[in-house]
Amino acid sequence: MAGDKVVEFTDGNFEVEVLKADTPVLVDFWATWCAPCKAIAPVIDELAETYAGQVKIGKVNVDENPATPGQYGVRGIPTMILFKGGQVVDQLVGAVPKNQLESLLQKAL
């Protein structure tokens, strides 16, 4: 479901891959049964290609990794949370247009 530049984050690797990352990280919280998540997936893949080397982009499957979404108050999916230096910079909820996601990424660059 993800392009080759999109990283899979889990409860187990979240701290190392996201919170201790050297670059900003965009995390897409999603599930296989979520239609809006599927709708936004190609945009996430495209952004991962465009921002490769500048922003790490990955996904957390909320069904397989329940601890992390709970920790960040994720109530609806898709939720995209932008992290920089281990801190939440901003977040968007829902299948938002690509330009909104790009604006979100610009906050961390």
Q: Pick the catalytic residue from 26, 37, 48, 74.
A: 37
Tell me which amino acid residue 105 is. Answer: L
Annotated catalytic residue, options 6, 25, 34, 82: 34
Report which DSSP code applies to 18: I
Q: Please list, in sequence order, all residues whose beta carbon lies within 8 angstroms of the beta carbon of residue 90, skipping any fewer than 6 positions away.
A: 81, 82, 104, 107
Q: Is 34 a catalytic residue?
A: yes
- Tokens linked to 15: 């701290």
- At 79, list the tokens: 């939720």
Identify whether 43 is a catalytic site residue: no
Q: Where are the beta strands (DSSP E) in 1-109?
A: 7-9, 25-30, 56-61, 79-84, 87-93
- Residue positions annotated with a catalytic role: 34, 37
